[in-house]
Structure formats: structure tokens, C-alpha cells
Structure 1
């Protein structure tokens, strides 16, 4: 999994928290604690896929264009990180004359695919609204709140 997944969820939760306000990439980046260029990359992806709308220029920024109760974390995983469970290199070589070496890559591919399916199923149980509600519960636990 990559950081774009976290940035996407954080950004959507932030926009869902204030659905009637625009947020610039600088504002979002400050809240996410990352560079605005990274936020812009993720927000462009979210915009392209219809999750946010953008207005350029003075007074511009991003605004939520989706229903936080309908957007699952599984959608965000598929959009930002699909296939990231599998490493770029896998042991084994189909050309070798060894039962282990010539079959390991296929077996590992199956294991990674199964793990990713389990993760997508789990993330499918959570929505952006659920994340926002969990954040609110965490805030309520803090003294003086």
C-alpha cells in the first residue's frame, strides 16, 4: 500500500467534515502533513474519478462531490494502491529445473492476490463517513473536549 491511499482518505474525510467549504491544496497539505504537490496529485486523481470538484484561481480549491456514506475505503484502495501488496520482485525462475524455483512465482502471486482480496473486502466495510465518525470519537476521548 502507498501513501496516496492515506492522503486520499484523509483529504476526503477533511472535505466531508466541512462539505460546504472549499479547501486549497495548501490547506489540505498542512492538515495531512505532507507536501502540497503530493496532495495535488491525489486530488487530481480524485477529481478525475468524480469524488471532488475543483475551482481554479482566487477563492478556488477542492470541494466534496460525493456522498461520504457511499464511498468505501475499498474504492480508494483500488484507485490508489491496487496491486501494491505484491512486491516488484518475486523469487523463483520458471526456466530452472527445480520444482520450487519454477513454481514459486505462481504460488506467491496467488498468495498476494488472496491477501489483497481480503484487504479489499475489509476496506469495503468502511466508508469515508465511518472514518470521519471514528475521528470524532477519538476527539471526544481527549481531555477538555
Structure 2
């Protein structure tokens, strides 16, 4: 899992919380506590995947395209973070004579792939609206 996922969820929950559901990248960045360039990169990915739309010019920004009840964390994960559970480096060497060293990468790849499938199935049960509801209950 990477920070892009958390930022994407935070940004979409923030948009769902706004009465008119519109916010600039600076406004979202201030709420997320990161810089606007990072927000624009993540929001671009969310736009390309049909979660938000952009409005250019004065008073522009990002607006939700879909009902927060219909946007799941699994959809967001698949859009911005899918496959990030697997580390960039894995131990072992396929050319090694030792059975452990030569096969550990293949077996661990399967473990990470199955973990990713279980994680996305779990995240598919959680909506942006349910996250916002939990936030409001914490007040």
C-alpha cells in the first residue's frame, strides 16, 4: 500500500464532505497536508478513472462525478495502488542451486498476489460515504 491511496481516499472524502463538492488542488492539499502538485497528480489519476471531473478557470477545481455511496475503496486502490503490497525487491536467486533460494521469489509472488486479491475484496465493501459517516461519528 502506498501513500497515494490514503491521499486519494482523503481527497474524495473531503469532496464528499463539501456542500457543493468542488475544491481546488490548493484547498485539497491544505486539508490533506501535502503539496498541490502531489494532489494534482493523484487527482489526475482519479479523473482518468471516472471518480472526479475538473473545472478549469476561475472558481475551478475538482468535483465528484459519482455518488460517494458508489465509490469503494477497492476501486480507488485498483486505480492508484494496485500491486503495491509486493515489495520492489525479493530475496533469492532463480539461478541458485539451493531449492529455497531458487524458488522463494515465485512462491512469494503468489503470496503477494493473493494478499492483494483479499485486500481489494475487503476494500470493495467500504464506500467513501461510509468513511465520511465514520468521521462524522468521531465528532
The ranges of structure 1 where at least 4 consecutive aligned residues each deviate by more than 4 angstroms after the TM superposition are none
Measure, in 2, the Cα distance between the counterparts of 1:39 and 1:19: 20
Q: What value does the CA root-mean-square deviation take over the aligned residues?
A: 1.0
- Taking structure 1 as the reference length, the TM-score comes to 0.92
Residue 29 (structure 1) shift = 0.3
Residue 50 (structure 1) shift = 1.3
- Structure-2 residue corresponding to 1:52: 52
Aligned positions of 1:104-143 closer than 5 A? 104-139=104-139
Where in structure 1 are there 5+ consecutive unaligned residues? 140-145
- Taking structure 2 as the reference length, the TM-score comes to 0.96
- Structure-2 residue corresponding to 1:41: 41
Measure, in 1, the Cα distance between the counterparts of 2:25 and 2:114: 36
- Structure-2 residue corresponding to 1:142: none
Residue 19 (structure 1) shift = 5.0
Measure, in 2, the Cα distance between the counterparts of 1:125 and 1:61: 29
Aligned positions of 1:84-123 closer than 5 A? 84-123=84-123
- Structure-2 residue corresponding to 1:72: 72
What SS does structure 1 have at the residue aligned with 2:86? coil
Measure, in 2, the Cα distance between the counterparts of 1:68 and 1:125: 13
- Structure-1 residue corresponding to 2:29: 29
Task: State how many pairs are aligned.
Answer: 139
Measure, in 1, the Cα distance between the counterparts of 2:114 and 2:55: 40
